[in-house]
Chains A and B, each alone.
Chain A
Amino acid sequence: MNRDDIFSKIQEVLDDALGVDEDEVTSEASLTADLGAESIDFLDIVFRIEKTFDVKISQGELFPENLADNAEWVADGKLTNTGLEMLKGRMAHVDFAAFESGDRSISKLGDAITVDSLVNFVEIKLAG
């Protein structure tokens, strides 16, 4: 399955999970900021990607979870350098550049997850 095929299936996943039109699902669209995803939608998307691509996704593997519980990763509601490095290592499918140079509030972290992040994730997963 090539990247275009994966993108096309991700469009269908997001169409079903978020009720958005496929033309809204561009590569750079943020799941939360542009497509209106909320936390429960992340679980829905994980389930649908598992089913669509026949892969198993562990909790916290696709989307960051429970970061605020760790004081080394989050301080005053913002991601620390240690937290950011941890995420970069654990979530190679996400481009954190804009988040790193902007507001590092944990509440903004979801904005970094784009459609491209999901395509990257599936590509890595299928290759692995």
Chain B
Amino acid sequence: MRWLWIDRIIDHEPNRRLVAIKNVSLAEEHLHDYIVDGQVVMPASLLIEGMAQTAGILVGTTSNFKEKVILAKITKAVFDRDVTAGDTVRYDATIDRIDEGGAATTGTLDRRVAGGDAWERIGRIELMFSHIDNNMAGTEFPEHNFVFSDNFKMILDAAGLGEYVCNSEGT
């Protein structure tokens, strides 16, 4: 099982944009190993992984998950604020360019302002993904696609995006 760093997909514009959120909790053990000025902090590397999962799913949907989509490059990652327990973060990923070889995405990272519905921008992340195998057409999902495994399917189903998985199975 792959470790998920997003909780829910909240918006999807096919072939263009995907938005996901994560609620950061003190129950996450890793936070207790990363304390800055007396406060637990979500490591930037895991925020990047959250964006990679958001953008990776978006790229995956464009081929109905027939392609194995692998994070190949962190082109840019800028963080203005820390994320801590109790925060909700929002990953908003957009495809800049995609072809047979892979995809380039840009994304913004927002944090919900405590006690309200407003969001503040706290980061920008640009990524490159590689389609490592162009011959995956017709392969059954998810058994033979180690990238988009069962727990990703759970998130997709919850967001009403299960149809993309079905299409990859040719059904």
Contact = CB atoms under 8 A, between A and B. Distances in A.
B130 A47 contact: no
Interface on chain B toward A: helix, strand, loop, or mixed SS? Answer: strand
Interface in A26-72: 40-41, 43-44, 47, 50-51, 59
Most buried by B among A41, A44, A59: A44
Contacts of B75: 16-17, 44
B128 interface: yes
B130 A40 contact: yes
A40 B129 CA distance: 8
Contacts of A43: 72, 101-102, 104, 128, 130
A63 to B, nearest CB: 10
Contacts of A50: 97
A44 B106 CA distance: 12
A67 B72 CA distance: 22
A41 B104 CA distance: 11
Interface in A14-28: 16-17
Contact of A41 (B73, B96, B99, B100): B73
Interface in B89-113: 96-97, 99-102, 104
Given A17-B75, A43-B128, A59 B97 contact: no
A66 to B, nearest CB: 10
A59 B102 CA distance: 11
A16 B126 CA distance: 11
A121 B95 CA distance: 25
Contacts of A51: 96-97
A51 B104 CA distance: 12
A59 B100 contact: yes
B62 to A, nearest CB: 15
Nearest to A44: B128
Given A40-B128, A40-B130, A59-B99, A47 B73 contact: no
Interface of B: 72-73, 75, 96-97, 99-102, 104, 128, 130
Given A44-B73, A47-B97, A59-B100, 7 more contacts: A40-B73, A40-B128, A40-B130, A44-B75, A47-B104, A51-B96, A59-B101
25 contacts: A16-B75, A17-B75, A40-B72, A40-B73, A40-B102, A40-B128, A41-B73, A43-B72, A43-B101, A43-B102, A43-B104, A43-B128, A43-B130, A44-B73, A44-B75, A44-B104, A44-B128, A47-B96, A47-B97, A47-B104, A50-B97, A51-B97, A59-B99, A59-B100, A59-B101
Report, nearest first, the 4 A-B pairs whose CB atoms are least far apart: A40-B72, A47-B97, A40-B73, A47-B104
